[in-house]
Structure 1
């Protein structure tokens, strides 16, 4: 969902602050783009207004299992969509 919302992460270290789009942060499963000495200090989710629609779905084989697939979608207000 954070990728669909175009979230930005702020990563801090003694060298300063690094701004990173959330979709660039996840390199692969359980492997973030986190440099030595960095920590996640903020998650910035842009405001989209009340007319935006969002959805999220998780496919699992059993209630206690890890998801096989997850998906998220963010749609702008109907007035701004292409016809």
Structure 2
């Protein structure tokens, strides 16, 4: 799903934000905004944990590719 090649830099707007749907955002707004870089960066480990355990989203699990994209972005320092 990442728009960059496997070795390239990931960015929030083009690679991470599109992983989340509007209904995911609405479900989480009382905690943080999944469409906001600062909120996702601050809560990235908790988000990743919930996704990996299948607690998020509530209607299904993410593919390995999506999980790997989010983890790569985290490992890169959560660039904007």
TM-score after normalising by structure 1: 0.22
* TM-score calculated relative to the size of structure 2: 0.22
* Greater fraction of residues in strand: 1
